[in-house]
Amino acid sequence: MFDNLSNRLDSVFKKLKGHGKLTEKNIEDGLKEVRMALLEADVHYKVVKKFIGDIKERSLGQEVTKSLTPGQQVIKIVNDELTKLMGDSHEELKLSGTLPIPVMLVGLQGSGKTTTAGKLAVLLRKRGRKPYLVPADVYRPAAIDQLKKLGVQLDVPVFPSDAKADPVQICQKALVAGQKEGCDTLLIDTAGRLHVDEELMSELCRIRDKVKPSDILLVADAMTGQDAVNIAKSFNDTLDIGGVILTKMDGDARGGAALSIKSVTGKPIKFIGVGEKLNELEPFHPDRMASSILGMGDVLTFIEKAQSVVDEEKAAELEKKLRKSQFTLEDFRDQMVQIRKMGSLTDLINMIPGFSKNKQLKNLEVDEHELVRIEAIINSMTPLERRQHTIINGSRRKRIARGSGTSVQDVNRLLKNYTQVMKMIKKISKGGMRGFGRGMLPF
């Protein structure tokens, strides 16, 4: 995401930071490069013009010239303005009214609507809601089946839509059926077309007028850049959408759509799709996104991810064990499984400030197989060995290595790492455990 822009801005800022004092000329030159970088990122030219104008006004003012660190001050201004450009703060789904609350997903074919309906169901369920999936695309033959399959996979109820029925009627019937199922949120997957056309829009308007959705979300493909922005504009002009879900951000190195949509349509991006898997939907936070473009890391998303997979009670229990130095290899394995649930380690590392900008660290490919190996080794131990690692002598090590398909060296390495970590924990425990956030263990 935003790789090119991020690198370009980084080099502009390096130059700016190189000057102790900034002159008007330094700033003008820097802004020229920022402008180029944004245009290359496929940001709408009108958006770029206003953006540069705003930054220029602030940068040439006293804010920078009187600052002790003018270069950093410019970075802060760019950070503020980027955040503003993307909408300032995260806007939530609007879910209000009588149950079940309908939410409409609209968008062109292939934008990722159906997948996103599944992802939203997962997210809502995590938040304690009871989603009901409603396939309302009666034109694409496989569309209804695709959502039904997703429902089975996720164990989320799906309205048994009939491909011969009228989409408006499907939605009305689904409202009644959803209520009977005890669901509180209806996710309506509407039909898509290859292009915006009148017939599609009038069908969507008919559904909107009958169902009165609490939120209408346009699902748009980030990789189509300015096309996504134009599509968002057309849908908003006709339907007055509530917000946008930008999919396939994982494949979009430029980021033009994400940077332009709010400014062009006035509607916020509420979520972004960052992969094909059904847990790869994230709330869109303009401030965090700006910081991550400028290489300041994405720590809050990292922490949120950690919190969403860590079971609070289990975390408290582990913390207690750590304090008493009773953290066994079994706990070590459980902790590792939790971390793996957060996603790929390489992705996680890139969220940490400084890491994403450091060339050596950036190319660091974390060996995910290593985690699998460690898990296999611990699984091959007897319960007693996991609780009392000191009894693992030479012959036990050989047996464990054989059982896990690894080598004795692998087993030795794991035990050495584990003892080192335990030593570190003991040291920290003496000084109190306050250093660790709740649920954030030191691995």
Q: Which is nearer to ligand GTP, 308 or 382 (CB)?
A: 308
Query: 228 phi and psi, to 5 degrees?
Result: -60, -35
Helix (H, G, I), strand (E, B) or coil at 211: helix
Q: Which is nearer to ligand GTP, 184 or 280 (CB)?
A: 280
Residue 286 CA to residue 85 CA, distance in Å, equals 8
Please give the DSSP secondary-structure letter assigned to residue 158: B
Given the DSSP bridges, would you call strands 281-283 and 269-273 parallel, antiparallel or unpaired?
antiparallel
- Residue 112, marked binder: yes
Rounded alpha-carbon distances, angstroms, from residue 278 to 25, 119, 154, 274, 376: 49, 5, 9, 10, 27
Q: What single-letter amino acid sits at 13?
A: F
Size of the chain in residues: 443
| Degrees, nearest 5: CA angle 319-322-326 | 130
Residue 304 Cβ vs ligand GTP, minimum distance, rounded to whole Å: 18
| Degrees, nearest 5: CA angle 73-74-79 | 95
- Residue 191, marked binder: yes
Taking each helix axis from N to C terminus, what angle separates 70-85 and 24-40, rounded to the nearest 10 degrees? 30
- Residue 342, marked binder: no
Rounded alpha-carbon distances, angstroms, from residue 3 to 68, 74, 86, 335, 336: 30, 20, 17, 32, 29
Peptide bond into 100 cis (omega under 30): yes
Residue 119 Cβ vs ligand GTP, minimum distance, rounded to whole Å: 8
- Residue 189, marked binder: yes
- Residue 110, marked binder: yes
Residue 308 Cβ vs ligand GTP, minimum distance, rounded to whole Å: 18
- Residue 250, marked binder: yes
Q: Which is nearer to ligand GTP, 289 or 381 (CB)?
A: 289
Nearest residue to ligand GTP, by Cβ distance, number only: 273
Which spans of this chain sit near ligand GTP (rule: CB under 6 A)? 107, 109-115, 137, 140, 143, 192, 247-248, 250-251, 273-276, 280
Q: Which is nearer to ligand GTP, 141 or 354 (CB)?
A: 141
- Residue 275, marked binder: no
Residue 279 CA to residue 290 CA, distance in Å, equals 23
Residue 105 Cβ vs ligand GTP, minimum distance, rounded to whole Å: 9
Q: Which is nearer to ligand GTP, 6 or 114 (CB)?
A: 114
Residue 322 Cβ vs ligand GTP, minimum distance, rounded to whole Å: 37
Q: Which is nearer to ligand GTP, 113 or 373 (CB)?
A: 113
Q: What single-letter amino acid sits at 279?
A: N
- Residue 172, marked binder: no
Residue 320 CA to residue 217 CA, distance in Å, equals 44
Residue 166 Cβ vs ligand GTP, minimum distance, rounded to whole Å: 18
Q: Which is nearer to ligand GTP, 242 or 275 (CB)?
A: 275
- Residue 133, marked binder: no
Residue 9 Cβ vs ligand GTP, minimum distance, rounded to whole Å: 24
Maximal CA-CA distance, the chain: 75
Annotated binding site: 107-114, 189-193, 247-250
Annotated binding site for GTP: 107-114, 189-193, 247-250
